[in-house]
Amino acid sequence: MIEKLITVGIVVKDQAKALDFYTRALGFEKRTDVTPPGNPRWVTVAPKGQDIEMSLFQAGSYNDPKAPQSHWQPGSSPAWILRTNDCRKDFEELKSRGVKFNETQPAEYPRGLIATFSDPDGNNFSLLQPPAK
């Protein structure tokens, strides 16, 4: 029986720059940073207090001939949704740290208040503040 999702991969151009963006701009914490002998560097980050981790996978650091090339390109990850209890506040704070949003302000939708942005490698994210119940 599957217990829980623990790691998701995000393909990035430069792990050091990505690590800086995720920890400095988004405020995530670095969880893992190792380079096993003969293998590429393994770096993970996560929102504080969360079990799930994001692996910042360096494009070109591992070539699996069986994997579709589109899976190893920066910006090819699915869109991620980050739940927040105050979208406007987080929007302003992240913007002050250099995060570039697609909108000038968060937008109202039936599923909540949403603001979207991309990391420096084109991976897409949304902040979502669900509607009050």
Percent helix, strand and coil across the chain, each rounded to 5?
20, 35, 50
User: Quick check: 71 pLDDT over 60?
Assistant: no
The span from the CA of 21 to the CA of 17, in Å, is: 6
Mean pLDDT on 56-64: 75
Residue 27, in any domain of the structure: yes
- Of 16 and 59, the structure prediction assigns the larger pLDDT to 16
Contact in structure between 100 and 91 (CB atoms under 8 Å) = no
Residue 67, in any domain of the structure: no
User: Quick check: 92 pLDDT over 90?
Assistant: yes
Q: Which domain covers residue 88, as residue numbers?
A: 7-61+74-129
Residue 68, in any domain of the structure: no
**Residue 32 — pLDDT band, cuts 50, 70, 90?**
very high
Output the pLDDT for position 67. Answer: 57
Residue 125, in any domain of the structure: yes
Contact in structure between 123 and 75 (CB atoms under 8 Å) = yes
Specify the CATH number for the domain of residue 97.
3.10.180.10
- Averaged pLDDT score across all residues of the chain: 87
**Residue where the block lists tokens 């914490």:** 29
- Total count of domains within the chain: 1
Residue 38, in any domain of the structure: yes
Mean pLDDT on 27-44: 91
User: Quick check: 2 pLDDT over 70?
Assistant: no
Residue 69, in any domain of the structure: no
Cβ-in-10-Å burial (0-12, 13-18, 19+) of 28 comes to buried
Residue 29, in any domain of the structure: yes
The span from the CA of 22 to the CA of 4, in Å, is: 23
The span from the CA of 83 to the CA of 109, in Å, is: 14
Residue 66, in any domain of the structure: no
Alpha helices (H) along the chain: 15-20, 87-96
User: Quick check: 6 pLDDT over 80?
Assistant: yes
